[in-house]
Structure 1
Amino acid sequence: MTLHFWRAGILLALTLLTGCDPAPPAAEQQSVLEGKTMGTFWRVSTPAITAERAQALRVKIQARLDGDDQLLSTWKSDSALMRFNDSTSLEPWPVSEAMADIVTTALRVGAKTEGAMDITVGPLVNLWGFGPDKQPVKTPDQSQIDTAKARTGLQHLRVINQAQQQFLQKDLADLYVDLSTVGEGYAADHLARLMEQEGISRYLVSVGGALVSRGMNAQGTAWRVAIQKPTDSENAVQAIVDINGHGISTSGNYRNYYELDGKRISHVIDPQTGRPVEHKLVSVTVIAPTALEADAWDTGLMVLGKEKAQAVVQREGLAVYMISREGDRFTTWMSPQFSAFLLSEKN
């Protein structure tokens, strides 16, 4: 079995790539900080700061992201999320305000996508080999899928805000919450807040496939972000956008997969069928006020497939760009709200 793992829907920050713009004057060089978190990479770009400040900032960034990982990880047995998952208590479970906000956003988007965005789908994710469990040696049978599905469902989870304390409560003892679909978006927003706290008002931050920008880059122009062509064989640009102070996130099924029994198994699991999606939609990019919202919506829309996703996008007035595979070629569709951010498209 061949495993291909990459954060689906990588977004390329053009201002961080060589050759995209003429080099800025020496006085306005750009500082780029990078590191690893949540099984992916983080990157922060801002007009130049001193080496000393950059080092101090890098330490603060890594500490903040390490804290986010300790909050949300399903790979760490002692994370806040896994302590909730491992508990069999049906009583309200105290959580941080951050955790409550993340789950609240996920439940809201889940409801608006008719359960397609489902943070309780963890047992199915694990069954198909995309969680901490090992990849299966053979395709799960229907009885295994049904058993895993019986442990899922947004209706089994709620957020309680009581006397300035937040709680999560489940009504299934073995409910398993997986926040990996929104973790990168939350972390990107968290980094953006750190930049503001540090007095930095011009930046582009990214965690995996989620980005947030503010202000202008070192050249005094808008931060430009490229949506990647949905293929695992090249890093080609499909479209370029100016996210203009918003969050952006992309979900796709073309870089996080493995091959089993002669079939490509996508990491995008449909909660209704309990199986990886097989439709023609291969990439969904969402621009929203926060990266957390964008990260939640792109997952739900990706699960729905092209036609159902378009109906939700039009109903909710979302800024969305979708890429579908039609035979050997790609076709694109965007909402009117997304076109306002578009700088160029490469078909």
Structure 2
Amino acid sequence: MKQQKYIRYILLPTTLLCLIASLFCGCSANSGKISKTGFYFDTMITVTLYGTRDEKILDDCFSLAGNYEKKLSNTITDSEVSKINEANGQFVTVSSDTLSLIKDGIRYGKISDGTFDITIGTLSDLWNFSEIAETAKSDENEVDASVVPSPEKIEAALAHVNYKNIEIKGNQVRLKDPQAKIDLGGIAKGFIADEMRSFLNKKGITSGVISLGGNVLTLGKKADHSSYTIGIQKPFSETGTSLGTLNVSDASVVSSGIYERYYRVNGKLYHHILDTLTGYPVENHLYQVTIISDISMDGDALSTTCFSLGLKKGMQLVEQTDGVEAIFVSDDGTITCSSGINRDDSIQFHAS
């Protein structure tokens, strides 16, 4: 039977917070507080620590993020992942970190029966959501129809999406399909957050928040021994408008949704979460999935996986997984919580 570990998490109505915001009431001035922001993996990272004023710890924390980006990014030409992608099917020796994350990606490929697939790189490159969606913001996200890939190109790219084409021998990795491309974007941010937490714990830091875009990881409890309050961003609303809050301690909160990177063509919305069966953006009447978990990498992978699986199958996966809870937001305004979350009946959500 699934452990009800997150029964203490209560959704409350609020319009003051977004997922990357936290409340830190009760932290005394003399306890120390430092914060730093940087940009890695196309994501703004902010780390806030309590109980220390040692700036070097923050600097070392961000150096860690930079080192992992150089290994794991598929957009940096000399990264270990890029070397695998460009090796024309030959083995490439990689670090234990890269190897571990690739193995985790394969594991989630198996768990999801290919719904989550780290060899999606050829397909995601074809859609190019990061660049097009950013440009579209200046034109109310409406773009020319020419940006949508042709069915022929999508079919061709989809043929190279199959995590089973990854072969591992010791610390060597290769793609049996030379045209396949590994993209660890679906789990790398969570992995980096977990590694940052491990580093900070070794330095004796037990209170703080690590934020990587839609990924939030809290360290222990606040300085006054209370839980952190994390707001969940309301889809398609101004940043800072939330549909509710979660009270968490020493936990990860990760959201994936269609409002993060998208554009419209003739009124139809195209978003960045791609269906590994069709090659097109997932269409299943969901706006967003938020995962609460102990390990941020698991939350990262599961938020995408559960969104892609849809409400019924996604919730089944969550309920079968210990230490994990979820909140599903449907396009009709319905909010569905897993069994370990206490939901306040007064919460309101209005679909755009």
When the two structures are superposed, what TM-score results if normalisation uses the length of structure 2? 0.83
How far did residue 48 of structure 1 move? 4.1
What is the deviation of 1:272?
A: 0.4
Change (3 A) 1:207 1:86: same
Q: Could you tell me which amino acid in structure 2 is paired with residue 137 of structure 1? A: S
Match of 1:156 in 2: 165
1:150 Cα offset (Å): 1.2
* Higher RCO by CA contacts (8 Å cutoff, separation 6 or greater): 2
Structure 1 position 213 matched with structure 2 position 218: yes
Q: Which amino acid aligns with 1:100?
A: L
Where 1:11 maps in the other structure, the secondary structure is coil
2:305 maps to 1:296: no
| Residue 122 of structure 1: aligned partner | 121
- Aligned residue number for residue 191 of structure 2: 186
After superposition, give the CA deviation of every residue in 1:208-238 in whole Å (9 maximum; x if it has no partner).
2222222221333122222211224342222
2:29 maps to which of 21, 26, 29: 26
Report the alpha carbon displacement of residue 140 of structure 1 after superposing the two structures with TM.
1.7
Q: CA deviation at 1:132?
A: 7.4
| Distance in 1, Cα, partners of 2:167 & 2:231 | 36
Report the CA distance shift for 1:276/1:117 in structure 2 as closer, same or farther (over 3 A): same
What displacement does 1:345 show?
7.4
Q: 1:96 to 1:132 in 2, by over 3 A?
A: farther
Shift, 1:83, TM fit:
0.9
Letter aligned with residue 46 of structure 1: L
Alignment match, 2:92: 93
What's the % identity of the aligned pairs?
22
Deviation at 1:70, TM superposition (A): 0.7
> Which residue identity is paired with 2:304?
T
Q: Give the distance between the partners of 1:12 and 1:262, measured in 2 at CA.
A: 29
CA shift for structure 1 position 269: 0.4
CA contact (8 A) 1:85 1:176 kept: yes
- Change beyond 3 A, Cα 1:86–1:270: same
Equivalent residue for 1:323, pick from 325, 329, 338:
329
CA distance in 2, matches of 1:177, 1:264: 26
Q: What CA distance in whole angstroms lies between the structure 1 residues aligned with 2:167 and 2:250?
A: 31
Give CA-to-partner distance per residue, 1:101-142, whole Å, 9 cap, x none.
211222212222221111111111111113679998342222
- TM-score if structure 1 supplies the norm length? 0.84
* Structure 1 residues 345 and 234, CA gap change in structure 2 (3 angstroms): farther
CA distance in 1, matches of 2:288, 2:38: 25
Structure 2 residue 274 is the aligned partner of structure 1 residue 264: no
CA distance in structure 2 between the partners assigned to 1:333 and 1:110 by the alignment: 25
Q: Which amino acid aligns with 1:63?
A: S
Mapped to 2, the partners of 1:184 and 1:158 lie a distance apart of: 24
Aligned length, in residue pairs: 320
Cα distance between partner residues in 2 of 1:158 and 1:267: 27
RMSD: 2.4
Residue 3 (structure 1) aligns with: none
Sort the Cα spacing of 1:345 and 1:115 in 2 relative to 1 into closer, same or farther, 3 A. Answer: farther
133 and 266 in structure 1: CA distance in 2 versus 1, 3 angstrom threshold? closer
- In the superposition, relative to structure 1, how do residues 93 and 243 fare at CA in structure 2: closer, same or farther (>3 Å)? farther
Paired residue for 1:167? 172
- Are residues 1:110 and 2:124 paired? no
Which structure 2 segments of 5+ residues have no match?
1-17, 136-144
Residue 171 of structure 1: how far off its partner (Å) = 1.3
Question: In the alignment, what sits opposite 2:139?
Answer: none
- Deviations along 1:148-194, one digit per CA (max 9) or x if unpaired, are 0111111111444x3xxx22232111210001111110111111112
Q: Where does structure 1 lack aligned partners over 5 or more consecutive residues?
A: 1-9
The Cα offsets for residues 67-93 of structure 1, whole Å up to 9 and x where unpaired, read as 111111122111111111011134x43
